[in-house]
Amino acid sequence: MAEVSSNHGRDLHRSLEFIDVAASCGCAAVKFQLFRLEELYSPEVLAKYPDHRKRKQWELPVDFLPHLSERCRERGVLFSCTPFYLDAVGELFPYVAFYKIASYELLWTELLQNCAKTGKPIVLSTGMATLEEVDRAVVTLSESGCKNLTLLHCVSDYPAKPEEANLQVLDTLRNRYASERIFPGELRVGWSDHTVSPQVLKRATERWGASMIEFHLDLDGTGEEYSSGHCWLPDQIAGVIKGELDHQDLSPATVEPCDGDGAKNPSASEMRERPWRADPVDGLRPLREFRSNLEQIYW
């Protein structure tokens, strides 16, 4: 699944090109993000930090949705989108094949419930979460009607270090929720990538059985998020999807450090991101306990 994120530049032609390119690379799905800045960050953040206010230009126009959905149908790929405000769930419903819920929204019970009540499949990223937090999210989704769930392990660092991937967590999640008493529906596990490492993707699928790989895509290195270092370019990812890795170092010494110990805990690099999750009460970032003293978490 190609994650376009905010690399679309609010340009419909460019957005459609992402779908064409992703399909040509061999992707099965393409995902966008639907947020409104005022419903993403708390007023304290927007008042204090100009860089966050500039992200208004990263918003995906709602009137793009039917065009994106139709292009996905034409190219034979699934269309998905991440809702970052409650009304977005309904706005997306006519168009998406499944909902993707971001790691930052994992604590927001009402958003999880609203997505689950639609009856559509759900993909949930679990970056920077503890196992107990994932437990609560899975139970919430199940009790709200979700019958088809894919949990994505990821490291919420941009870019993430391959040695922090801890891919063995895929087994931890798979085994924990295999019992019908915890999740009675269809459950799969996968990897949401921020490493831009072919070795990590290959290891996730071939050793740890990832049924889905999500990766951030940019077309040409000009997207808003490309400079952070966690986005793939088309020529980089196409060969990985097609299995053309003969030139890559896939020796045990290279890939085994990605395995980790399987404990589902935030990595050291994720600790600074945890306060910036959506608060369970109002869905805004950061968590309410940090809003009166933003300096303690801002970098």
pTM over 0.85: yes
To 5 degrees, how large is the angle CA 232–CA 237–CA 241? 145
d(CA 131, CA 263): 8
Domain boundaries of the chain, sorted by first residue:
2-296
| Residue numbers in the chain where pLDDT is lower than 50 | none
Three-state DSSP state, 216: strand
**What per-residue confidence (pLDDT) applies to 247?**
58
CB 101 within 8 A of CB 111: yes
Alpha-carbon distance of 154 to 103, in angstroms, equals 9
pLDDT of residue 278: 98
Distance CA 97, CA 86 (A): 18
177-213 b/e (C-beta count within 10 Å ≥ 16 → b): beeeeebeeebbbbbbbbbbbbbbbbbbbebbebebb
Does CATH number 3.20.20.70 belong to domain 2-296?
Answer: yes
Q: How far from the centroid of its chain's Cα atoms is residue 85's Cα?
A: 15
Q: Does an H or E element contain 192, and which? A: strand 186-193
Give whole-number Cα distances, 13 to 3, 223, 226, in Å. 17, 14, 19
- What pLDDT, on the 0 to 100 scale, is given for residue 299? 62
